[in-house]
Amino acid sequence: MPELPEVETVRLGLAPVMEGASIDKVELRRPDLRTAFPPDFARRLKGRKIVSLGRRAKYLLADLDSGDVLVMHLGMSGSFRIEADGKAAIAGTYYHPRSERRSHDHVVFHLSNGATVVFNDPRRFGLMDLVPRADLEASKHFHAMGIEPLGNVLDGGTLATLFAGRSAPLKSVLMDQRLVAGLGNIYVCEALWRSELSPVRKAGTLATKAGKPKPGADRLAVAIREVLQAAIAAGGSSLRDHRRTDGELGDFQHEFAVYDRESEPCLRPGCHGVIRRMVQAGRSTFYCPVCQR
């Protein structure tokens, strides 16, 4: 599944085309994706202006002039294709190219600026919904969602509060979307390496008995921000199905320090460790057993 930086690169690719445009027509080529479309979905979108295109965790949010928000999720294999001026480009970044088979084009947005935005999703795990802006945070999509890792709230103190008293492994807690939203396997592995923290360390050890942050919590907060910002700047990691809106592949996979580098030497200066792989909660974890404590 695309992670936060990949979704952000999709947003950046779609925004110049969608923001400020009105939706002339919506084609629904099937009755559902992961779930059924809301009642009168196409009719409620027709004629509406897209005021802004935002992101919350791994969701794309299109604010409409009706007061509704078009909530979109890529799922496992979803992507957006922009067709304009006789050209077509996929929005986002991927290691293995996204599907361009027209049989998987399930939702088509015809915009007032002449562009067409197509949602293609072979596995149909994507999602689209309409939610009033006033009800967004309380909606089924976001009511239990944690803090934004790139928001102003994330710092060592916040992590210490979230982690205090937790005996679960640090990596598992970071992957809990109810605590920090949008972090996935790749960037958690990378952030833990940058902060020199073991993925199996108990999360609660980053907080004092009084709930204050230990140095590791401060390092981790900085590392999370840095790795996400670096990945966004590189256009994402281009793993499996993620592709940018311009159809180009992301480059951050070339900057991986640990992810998918099993048996290779640790890149930290002065460290003579070798990257190992283990499985946690069914997901591959890559780490250095020497410098990550």
Active site residues: 2-3, 58, 283
Distance CA(126)–CA(105), nearest Å, equals 12
Q: What's the gap between Cα 199 and its chain centre?
A: 20
Q: What are phi and psi of 192, to 5 degrees?
A: -65, -40
Q: What are phi and psi of 115, to 5 degrees?
A: -85, 155
213 bridge partner residues? 207
Residue 234's contacts (CB-CB under 8 Å, 6 or more residues apart) are 250, 251, 252, 254, 255
Q: 3-class DSSP state for residue 186? A: helix
127 bridge partner residues? 73
Check: CB of residue 176 under 8 Å from CB of residue 146: yes
Check: CB of residue 18 under 8 Å from CB of residue 62: yes
Nearest 5 degrees, angle CA 231-CA 10-CA 141? 100
Check: CB of residue 171 under 8 Å from CB of residue 183: no
Distance CA(223)–CA(119), nearest Å, equals 33
